[in-house]
Amino acid sequence: MKFFIDTADSREIRDLASTGLLDGVTTNPSLIAKTGRNMLEVISEICDLVEGPVSAEVTATDFETMLKEGEKLARLADNVAVKVPLTWAGLKTCKALSGQGIMVNVTLCFSAAQALLAAKAGASFISPFVGRLDDIATDGMALISEIRQIYDNYDSLATEILVASVRNPRHVVDAAKLGADVATLPPAVLKQLIAHPLTDRGLEAFLADWHKTGQAIL
Ligand code: G3P
């Protein structure tokens, strides 16, 4: 399973990229707004920090402008994945950009029918928002399972399932069990993945015993 990081904070991305565990980055207009910086500068900077896909979202709602925005974003770097919303204009833009060999991430997916449309439009990634479904008392993971089943039925559908709106480590584990291709994690959730009190306690005990031996490996 690939791990993307869901932030536009380049300092945080630089820090986490140094673990060697980052396969890409996702941003959205809300995350860009949080930085208070110019979007084009931020995206170019992030594209230099990671080799994998960096999602940059269009903000127009009509096809013609969305396409122009997408083409402009794609020119920033080879690893830009243009993010478009799951609307008819977004799907048309997805079809046009993917036809030009540009990666497209179709976002704001809340149903299997939407995911099927995005795959048919040539999306590289579909982003189902599991946390926001859970928020309205709907099982977000059930959607991942449904999309996995549908995509696996057709070799012609090459779209990767990118689990978004991830809120906790359980979401990551459940998505991995279902065979999702990617999870995009807020930095806090990525850091939570490693935490276990028995690991901390076990290490403490090993080191205490080791120090008693008076030995050193180096
Ligand atoms: O990847 C989409 C994500 O940023 C949305 O997350 O927590 O705002 O639903 P959230």
CA of 59 relative to ligand 1 center, distance in Å? 16
Q: Is-contact 28 186, C-beta < 8 A?
A: no
Domain 2-213 in CATH 3.20.20.70? The answer is yes
pLDDT digits (tens, 9 = 90+) for 22-68: 999 999 999 999 999 999 999 999 999 999 999 999 999 999 999 99
The pLDDT of residue 207: 98
pTM of the model: 0.96
109 confidence band (pLDDT: 50, 70, 90) = very high
Backbone angles phi, psi at 93, to 5 degrees: -65, -40
Structure tokens at 94: 């997805």
Q: What is the DSSP letter of 21?
A: -
For residue 82, the cross-strand partners are 56, 104
State which of 4, 132, 168 you would mutate to test the pocket of ligand 1, scoring each by most atoms of that ligand within 8 A of its C-beta. Answer: 132
Is the CB–ligand 1 distance for residue 165 below 6 Å? yes
Q: Are 143 and 137 in contact (CB under 8 A)?
A: no
The string of pLDDT tens digits covering residues 163-214 is 999 999 999 999 999 999 999 999 999 999 999 999 999 999 999 999 999 9
In the chain, where are the structural domains located?
2-213
